[in-house]
Amino acid sequence: MRHAQLREGDILARRYILRQPLGAGGMSVVWRAWDSTLERTVAVKVLDGPIASDGGQRDRIKREARAAARIEHPNAIGVYDYGETVTPRGRIAAYVVMQLLDGASLAARLEGGPLPWPEAVAVAATVADVLHAAHRRGVVHRDVTPENVMLTTDGVRLLDFGIAADIGQREEAMTFGTPPYVAPERLVGAPASGATDVYALGVLLFEMLTGAPPYPAGTWEELERALAAERRPALTVPGLPAGVASVCLRSLSRDPSRRPTAAEAATILGAGTSAPLARRRAWLAVPVVVALAAVLAVLLLRDDDPVQPPGGNAAPAPSVSILVSFVPAPTDGPGATSPAGGRPSSRPSTQPSGGPGASPAVSGSQTPQAAGKAVLDIVDRRAQTGEIRSDVALDIRNQVNNLLSGGADLARRVDELRHNLSDRTRDHAISDAAYQELDAAVVNFGRALTA
């Protein structure tokens, strides 16, 4: 980017240490950064250019932060901070600090073609629920596109409220957004309403089901011509529930009053995914049943061993060790219960654990990549069972990935990671059992990095 004012290692507001750029668009750059106050990895979107010629971008970044902060929903991007500061090169920079997500965009997922309909409907149901939460707070997103939907390790997230508007706000002289997802009424300057987001939701669902938007267009002129042709999109997907197809096509109606609300769409789409999810849970339960049967069989065989006479010198019966592995069933949201039991009351030790709870993948002879992967595997497994809070799991993943990318002071950074684990355990964000296993794996990771 021309006139870029920020570099790796720069510090914003005496707090956010910029690590690496993640993407750029317009006059802003999104950085992976370290929040030295709260000791966590974050994303920082910075207006990276002269303020005098930003064309109102500073106000838009501020509106984006305020709009996203108003949304109270676990699947909306989390906004932590907004500010304006002087950069190390003496210019003013506006920035917004957001949750750093671990995953890929829906746009990247769609490069491989349409999604299986249960997956497409589940993604759309989540996006619809976030839009419902936004509309309740008077916010219209206005840019619901595959690029702004993230498929993360913690579920679907709706991003980028950069062109959000208040309900009733008039369209600017220039229309913002991505043409195929822009509702027809926005082209004629109609005030912002929840119906415009629902239209984009319909386009998004149609594209996930078929592989292409109903009215492909690269420019506003192409979109106007496509809409003027009055061609009704057809939706024929084998197995797709009729109610889901209906809500998708209703969302694409030219008349905003004929579209469902985001709340209605979320309810119908959520009901459309319940049966496949139930079947998925049933299949996930099969390995557990098989494993339990294997354990019972071994126990029955051991019951047939002859009883040793008192004081006998016979060799002891050989012990049998069984490794049971299964995939935990997915949870369905904040109301789901965790299979993890209560946390031990004892305070965790800061020393590495070599006890029976340690990961079998921990080994002193691993490469840094293998040792790092062992840590990440533990994080993923323990996060799935609720023993590591999702935001803390993301922070740990980011710290491990930063260590794998190399750099100076590896031993010190590993020590910082261990202190972070200890602090998060005291905060009850990590269970004691998960901490013991993780700390042992991180110690091994540190040895591999510094060998």
pLDDT along the chain (451 residues), means of 10: 73 94 80 94 82 59 79 88 85 88 92 95 96 93 94 90 84 69 87 94 97 85 77 86 95 94 95 51 38 39 42 40 36 37 37 39 66 90 87 80 76 89 88 94 92 82
Task: List CB contacts of 156: < 8 A, sequence separation 6 or more.
Answer: 75, 122, 123, 126, 127, 149, 150
H-type helices in 405-431, by residue range?
410-426
Integer CA distances (angstroms), 394 to 168, 368, 403, in order? 37, 20, 14
What is the structure's pLDDT at 175?
56
Q: What does the alpha-carbon distance between residue 322 and residue 291 come to, in Å, rounded to a whole number? A: 9
H-type helices in 117-231, by residue range?
117-136, 194-210, 220-228
Q: Which residues pair with 157 in a beta bridge?
A: 150
What is the structure's pLDDT at 315?
41
Task: List CB contacts of 213: < 8 A, sequence separation 6 or more.
Answer: 180, 181, 203, 206, 207
Task: List CB contacts of 116: < 8 A, sequence separation 6 or more.
Answer: none
Pairing of strands 149-152, 155-158: antiparallel
Which pair of structure tokens corresponds to residue 143? 């840019």
- From the list 143, 160, 197, 395, the catalytic residue is 143
380 belongs to the catalytic site? no
Which pair of structure tokens corresponds to residue 365? 């002879």
What is the structure's pLDDT at 71?
86
Note the residue count of the chain.
451
